[in-house]
Amino acid sequence: MHTLEPFYNWRQYYEPDEDAASPFYESGHSPTGQGKLIYNYVLNPEWEDFGSATLYLKILFADYDRGFAVLEMMGEWNDCLHNDVMYFKRDVIEPLEAEGIRHFILIGENVLNFHASDDCYYQEWFDETVENGGWIAAINFRDHVRDEMETVDIPQYFLMNAQVINWRTFTPWQFFELVDQAVTRRLSSADWNQEVDSE
Protein backbone atom coordinates (compact mmCIF):
# COMPACT_ATOMS: atom_id res chain seq x y z
CA MET A 1 0.00 0.00 0.00
CA HIS A 2 2.96 2.33 0.50
CA THR A 3 3.42 2.50 -3.29
CA LEU A 4 -0.08 3.95 -3.79
CA GLU A 5 0.42 7.70 -3.86
CA PRO A 6 -1.86 10.65 -4.56
CA PHE A 7 -2.13 11.89 -8.14
CA TYR A 8 0.95 14.02 -8.76
CA ASN A 9 0.64 15.55 -12.27
CA TRP A 10 -1.02 18.69 -10.91
CA ARG A 11 1.91 19.53 -8.65
CA GLN A 12 3.10 21.92 -11.32
CA TYR A 13 -0.02 23.97 -10.54
CA TYR A 14 -0.46 23.46 -6.81
CA GLU A 15 1.21 22.11 -3.65
CA PRO A 16 -0.87 22.23 -0.46
CA ASP A 17 2.13 22.42 1.87
CA GLU A 18 3.24 25.59 0.01
CA ASP A 19 -0.22 27.18 0.15
CA ALA A 20 -0.59 29.42 3.20
CA ALA A 21 -4.39 29.07 2.96
CA SER A 22 -4.27 25.26 3.03
CA PRO A 23 -4.94 23.31 6.24
CA PHE A 24 -1.74 21.38 5.36
CA TYR A 25 0.53 24.39 4.89
CA GLU A 26 4.16 23.50 5.71
CA SER A 27 3.06 20.02 6.80
CA GLY A 28 6.15 18.36 5.33
CA HIS A 29 6.39 14.63 4.72
CA SER A 30 8.49 11.99 6.38
CA PRO A 31 10.12 9.56 3.92
CA THR A 32 8.96 6.67 6.11
CA GLY A 33 5.35 7.83 6.57
CA GLN A 34 5.71 8.20 10.38
CA GLY A 35 2.94 5.88 11.48
CA LYS A 36 0.38 6.52 8.75
CA LEU A 37 -1.25 3.10 8.65
CA ILE A 38 -4.34 1.39 7.29
CA TYR A 39 -4.93 -2.19 8.41
CA ASN A 40 -1.30 -2.31 9.61
CA TYR A 41 -0.08 -1.36 6.13
CA VAL A 42 2.23 1.66 5.88
CA LEU A 43 0.94 4.42 3.61
CA ASN A 44 2.84 6.57 1.18
CA PRO A 45 3.95 9.66 3.15
CA GLU A 46 2.29 12.01 0.64
CA TRP A 47 -1.15 11.27 2.10
CA GLU A 48 -2.20 13.84 4.70
CA ASP A 49 -3.40 12.95 8.20
CA PHE A 50 -6.35 15.04 9.42
CA GLY A 51 -7.22 13.21 12.63
CA SER A 52 -8.90 10.05 11.40
CA ALA A 53 -7.47 6.67 12.37
CA THR A 54 -8.10 5.14 8.94
CA LEU A 55 -8.87 7.89 6.40
CA TYR A 56 -6.32 10.15 4.72
CA LEU A 57 -6.41 12.62 1.87
CA LYS A 58 -4.47 14.89 -0.42
CA ILE A 59 -5.63 18.29 -1.63
CA LEU A 60 -4.73 17.95 -5.30
CA PHE A 61 -5.75 21.46 -6.24
CA ALA A 62 -7.43 24.56 -4.81
CA ASP A 63 -8.44 27.66 -6.75
CA TYR A 64 -9.62 30.32 -4.32
CA ASP A 65 -10.60 32.77 -7.06
CA ARG A 66 -12.98 30.29 -8.68
CA GLY A 67 -13.86 28.70 -5.34
CA PHE A 68 -13.14 25.03 -5.96
CA ALA A 69 -10.94 22.30 -4.53
CA VAL A 70 -10.17 18.73 -5.60
CA LEU A 71 -9.42 16.27 -2.79
CA GLU A 72 -8.29 12.68 -3.27
CA MET A 73 -9.30 10.32 -0.46
CA MET A 74 -7.51 7.18 0.76
CA GLY A 75 -8.45 4.44 3.22
CA GLU A 76 -11.48 3.43 5.25
CA TRP A 77 -14.13 6.09 5.83
CA ASN A 78 -15.51 5.15 9.22
CA ASP A 79 -18.14 7.42 10.72
CA CYS A 80 -19.47 4.65 12.93
CA LEU A 81 -16.33 4.11 15.04
CA HIS A 82 -14.18 7.16 14.39
CA ASN A 83 -16.60 9.90 13.27
CA ASP A 84 -14.32 10.59 10.31
CA VAL A 85 -16.72 13.10 8.76
CA MET A 86 -16.45 15.29 11.89
CA TYR A 87 -12.66 15.54 11.56
CA PHE A 88 -12.94 15.99 7.82
CA LYS A 89 -15.55 18.73 8.16
CA ARG A 90 -13.92 20.63 11.03
CA ASP A 91 -10.23 20.31 10.13
CA VAL A 92 -10.25 20.29 6.33
CA ILE A 93 -13.52 21.55 4.89
CA GLU A 94 -14.14 24.49 7.24
CA PRO A 95 -10.65 26.00 6.75
CA LEU A 96 -11.17 25.74 2.98
CA GLU A 97 -14.64 27.28 3.27
CA ALA A 98 -13.13 30.16 5.24
CA GLU A 99 -10.85 30.82 2.25
CA GLY A 100 -13.76 30.93 -0.21
CA ILE A 101 -13.97 27.32 -1.41
CA ARG A 102 -17.60 26.44 -2.16
CA HIS A 103 -17.24 23.65 -4.77
CA PHE A 104 -15.75 20.39 -3.49
CA ILE A 105 -14.72 17.48 -5.70
CA LEU A 106 -13.91 14.31 -3.75
CA ILE A 107 -12.04 11.55 -5.61
CA GLY A 108 -12.99 8.23 -4.00
CA GLU A 109 -11.23 5.52 -6.02
CA ASN A 110 -9.03 4.64 -3.04
CA VAL A 111 -11.77 4.67 -0.41
CA LEU A 112 -11.86 0.99 0.47
CA ASN A 113 -14.89 0.88 2.80
CA PHE A 114 -17.49 3.16 4.35
CA HIS A 115 -19.16 2.61 7.71
CA ALA A 116 -22.17 4.80 8.31
CA SER A 117 -23.42 6.68 11.32
CA ASP A 118 -25.84 9.60 11.08
CA ASP A 119 -25.79 12.33 8.44
CA CYS A 120 -25.63 15.45 10.65
CA TYR A 121 -22.21 16.67 9.47
CA TYR A 122 -23.04 15.95 5.85
CA GLN A 123 -26.22 17.98 6.12
CA GLU A 124 -24.37 20.84 7.82
CA TRP A 125 -21.70 20.82 5.10
CA PHE A 126 -24.33 20.65 2.35
CA ASP A 127 -26.37 23.51 3.84
CA GLU A 128 -23.30 25.75 4.14
CA THR A 129 -22.18 24.90 0.62
CA VAL A 130 -25.56 25.52 -1.00
CA GLU A 131 -25.97 28.75 0.95
CA ASN A 132 -22.73 29.94 -0.68
CA GLY A 133 -23.81 28.85 -4.17
CA GLY A 134 -21.70 25.70 -4.21
CA TRP A 135 -21.93 21.93 -4.40
CA ILE A 136 -20.17 18.70 -3.37
CA ALA A 137 -19.34 16.02 -5.95
CA ALA A 138 -18.13 12.52 -5.11
CA ILE A 139 -16.29 11.08 -8.12
CA ASN A 140 -15.32 7.45 -8.83
CA PHE A 141 -16.35 5.99 -5.49
CA ARG A 142 -16.59 2.19 -5.57
CA ASP A 143 -20.04 0.66 -5.91
CA HIS A 144 -20.03 -0.99 -2.48
CA VAL A 145 -18.94 2.30 -0.86
CA ARG A 146 -21.77 4.19 -2.57
CA ASP A 147 -24.20 1.47 -1.52
CA GLU A 148 -23.16 1.84 2.11
CA MET A 149 -23.45 5.65 1.90
CA GLU A 150 -26.99 5.20 0.63
CA THR A 151 -27.97 3.48 3.89
CA VAL A 152 -27.94 6.91 5.56
CA ASP A 153 -29.02 8.87 2.45
CA ILE A 154 -25.69 10.65 1.96
CA PRO A 155 -26.21 10.84 -1.83
CA GLN A 156 -28.86 13.50 -1.20
CA TYR A 157 -26.02 15.83 -0.22
CA PHE A 158 -23.50 14.92 -2.94
CA LEU A 159 -23.51 14.39 -6.66
CA MET A 160 -22.73 10.78 -5.84
CA ASN A 161 -22.82 8.54 -8.88
CA ALA A 162 -20.45 10.42 -11.15
CA GLN A 163 -17.79 8.30 -12.84
CA VAL A 164 -15.00 10.18 -14.63
CA ILE A 165 -12.64 7.44 -15.72
CA ASN A 166 -10.05 9.66 -17.40
CA TRP A 167 -10.03 12.62 -14.99
CA ARG A 168 -6.22 12.51 -14.75
CA THR A 169 -5.94 13.60 -18.39
CA PHE A 170 -7.52 16.99 -17.66
CA THR A 171 -6.06 20.11 -16.13
CA PRO A 172 -7.70 20.97 -12.79
CA TRP A 173 -9.71 23.74 -14.46
CA GLN A 174 -10.97 21.44 -17.22
CA PHE A 175 -11.90 18.84 -14.61
CA PHE A 176 -13.81 21.41 -12.59
CA GLU A 177 -15.73 22.55 -15.68
CA LEU A 178 -16.63 18.96 -16.51
CA VAL A 179 -17.93 18.27 -13.00
CA ASP A 180 -19.68 21.65 -12.80
CA GLN A 181 -21.59 20.86 -15.99
CA ALA A 182 -22.60 17.46 -14.58
CA VAL A 183 -23.78 19.02 -11.32
CA THR A 184 -25.73 21.70 -13.19
CA ARG A 185 -27.49 19.05 -15.27
CA ARG A 186 -28.26 17.02 -12.14
CA LEU A 187 -29.60 20.02 -10.22
CA SER A 188 -31.92 20.93 -13.10
CA SER A 189 -33.32 17.41 -13.42
CA ALA A 190 -36.72 16.53 -12.00
CA ASP A 191 -35.30 13.58 -10.08
CA TRP A 192 -32.79 15.70 -8.21
CA ASN A 193 -35.35 18.38 -7.37
CA GLN A 194 -37.83 15.81 -6.13
CA GLU A 195 -35.16 14.17 -3.97
CA VAL A 196 -34.17 17.48 -2.38
CA ASP A 197 -37.79 18.60 -1.91
CA SER A 198 -38.67 15.35 -0.17
CA GLU A 199 -36.26 16.04 2.73
Give the global pTM.
0.90
Domain layout of the chain by residue ranges? 9-197
What separation in angstroms does the CA of 52 have from each of 28, 104, 190? 18, 19, 37
Q: In what order do the strands lie in the sheet with 48-49?
A: 48-49, 55-63, 68-78, 103-115, 135-139, 159-162
Report how far residue 194's alpha carbon sits from residue 81's, in angstroms, rounded to the nearest whole number: 32
User: Could you read off the pLDDT of 67-126 as tens digits, one per residue?
Assistant: 999 999 999 999 999 899 999 999 999 999 999 999 999 999 999 999 999 899 999 999
Q: Which CATH superfamily is domain 9-197 in?
A: STAS domain (3.30.750.24)
**How is residue 72 annotated by DSSP?**
E
